[in-house]
Amino acid sequence: MNEGILNREITQKNLSIISFCLFSAWQLSFLFEGQVLYSIIESAQIDGIVLAKSAVLTVFIGLFSGGLLIKSQAAAKIIMIISIIVCVSGSLIFYLPFSMLWYIAIISTAYFASLFIASWGFYFKIYFTLEERFKTAAEVLIYSNILMIIVNVLTVSTSASIGLTVTILALAGTLPFLFRLESNFNEKVSNKTNIAGLPQRIPVISKPFIFLCIFILIITITSGLMYQVVNPAFAHYKYLTAYYWAIPYILAVLILRNLPSRINKAYILYVAIAMTGLSYILFMWLDRSVTSYLLINTLMLGAFGVCDLFWWSILGSYLDYHDNAAQVLGVGLSMNVLGVLIGSIIGNKIISLESPYFATSVTAVTIILAVLIILPVLNFQLTRHLKSHEFLVRFADMTKGEQEKALAGFKRDKQLTEKEFEVVNLLLRGYTYKVIAESLFISENTIKYHVKNIYQKLNINSKMELIKIYGDNEELQQ
């Protein structure tokens, strides 16, 4: 019986990953600033800026508001199936000559595409444990971009129509997998993520989540600049850009996925942000040669891969803190889309200036500096709610002042008494029960009583689970 349940869970996990990746292949290649869409626009000999930006704006609106429509796993499956049907139908319109139908099709497909992504949040939450979501996020990003590269290469090597056909086939191929996904909430699978003892539900509109959204929004403005300024600057390397563009992104995500879990990835995020700034500085200084493209694109897309995996995995951790997974994933990813849109608008203004490459680089570096200011604050906010996460600075690695600030937020959020707060503070600093009792001038039995109350308030069962809230500390002893 247990083996049957396990096989069933594995099947559901695989079905959800495959369906998402096939859908994303269409979205990345066509809908969202994709090679297929721009090739179709070029073939039709029209100014497609409004068309492309309308798609991005509609995706933002759909993601941000999707949680209002999708409130259960059953609703999510229905919405996902309807979305595929609408997106296939809308994509077929682009075989026809250019007309107002194109605008109707792009807006309708963009809206339902965003609902699909938000809906998938329920499957991301239900069928993957908290520990599995980091690797799952990496896998869907890797496979989706590999499929996108295949479509892009086919498009530039053949024609826009063939590229469109391939994306529609991928989109339609999602349906058989969607029909096999379960539509009822699986309590056994869902409860796996709660065994370790998670905090009580918190609202999506909370200070840490708002800081996360601000971070995602600001950093992805650099992606919008890339689409509008950097990519067009190297557009004359048609085949090179089709083959190589997303390769550094995939490799960065793949490397992070396979790093040992004991390696804290918080500082890798800082490196990625620095890489983004350096890539834009090089874009300003270097020429438009093949060597320049390889260097700039490697730094830029590798950094974007790290950043994307960061917020995907953070959002994955947040799913257990809210009942509506579509709202969490939708609102979080909508900030990514809004950042790209804002960056594209800024880039469109910059490109008309006398020195567009200089202006682009200065804008990007300014954004990077703002992100570096926000990131430490974001880390403090996130560690107040999330358990130890690959991209968060662990408690044991913080300075004394940083630890005190983090613990102050911890005390407030968990509603600990003054004495319980002192016990937690000393536990996290590596002291044994005996040393804590001596420090607080109380008996060891009293310490155990306080620890029991702390565990009940935090809904955890051991000291190690307490430690994981802020990160591993090997010096802690029972």
- CATH code, domain carrying 353: 1.20.1250
- 136-179 pLDDT per residue, tens: 999 999 999 999 999 999 999 999 999 999 999 999 999 999 99
Identify whether residues 300 and 347 lie together within a single domain.
Answer: yes
Describe the crossing of helices 133-157 and 35-44 by its angle, rounded to 10 degrees: 30
Identify whether residues 163 and 216 lie together within a single domain.
Answer: no
State the chain's mean pLDDT as an integer: 85
Q: Which residue has the higher pLDDT, 244 or 392?
A: 244
Residue that the structure tokens 């933002």 belong to: 60
pLDDT for residue 313 is more than 80: yes
Describe the crossing of helices 444-458 and 418-428 by its angle, rounded to 10 degrees: 90
Cβ-proximal residues to 396 (8 Å cutoff; 6+ apart), any chain: 470, 471, 472, 473
| Whether this model's pTM surpasses 0.85 | no
- Measured between alpha carbons, how far is 312 from 337 in angstroms, rounded to an integer? 13
Identify whether residues 446 and 344 lie together within a single domain.
Answer: no
Alpha-helical (H) ranges within 158-237 are: 160-172, 174-180, 187-191, 207-219, 221-225, 231-233
Mean pLDDT (whole number) for 385-412: 58
Q: Is residue 399 part of a domain?
A: no
Domain boundary among 197, 226, 247: 197
Buried-state track 290-300, b at ≥16 Cβ within 10 A, e below 16: eebbebbbbbb
- 111-136 pLDDT per residue, tens: 999 999 999 999 999 999 877 899 99
Count how many domains the chain has: 3
Q: In this predicted structure, what is the pLDDT of residue 202? A: 55
| Residue 416 identity (one-letter amino acid) | L
Q: Is residue 398 part of a domain?
A: no
Buried-state track 10-26, b at ≥16 Cβ within 10 A, e below 16: eebbebbbbbbbbbbbb
Give the structural domain span for 172.
1-197
Buried-state track 310-322, b at ≥16 Cβ within 10 A, e below 16: bbbbbbbbbbbbb
Identify whether residues 277 and 352 lie together within a single domain.
Answer: yes
Specify the CATH number for the domain of residue 7.
Answer: 1.20.1250.20
Confidence of residue 252 (pLDDT cuts 50, 70, 90): very high
Identify whether residues 313 and 430 lie together within a single domain.
Answer: no
Cβ-proximal residues to 77 (8 Å cutoff; 6+ apart), any chain: 119, 178, 181, 182, 183
- 257-296 pLDDT per residue, tens: 998 876 777 788 889 999 999 999 999 999 999 999 999 9
| 3-state DSSP assignment of residue 394 | coil
Mean pLDDT (whole number) for 345-357: 92
Q: Length of the chain in residues, anyone?
A: 478
Specify the CATH number for the domain of residue 453.
Answer: 1.10.10.10
Confidence of residue 407 (pLDDT cuts 50, 70, 90): low
Identify whether residues 292 and 245 lie together within a single domain.
Answer: yes
- Measured between alpha carbons, how far is 301 from 246 in angstroms, rounded to an integer? 7
Q: In this predicted structure, what is the pLDDT of residue 192? A: 43
Q: Is residue 475 part of a domain?
A: no
pLDDT for residue 224 is more than 80: yes
Residue that the structure tokens 């990007």 belong to: 364
- 408-454 pLDDT per residue, tens: 655 555 567 878 878 887 777 667 888 888 888 888 888 888 888 88
- Measured between alpha carbons, how far is 323 from 317 in angstroms, rounded to an integer? 13
Alpha-helical (H) ranges within 319-417 are: 325-350, 356-383, 400-414
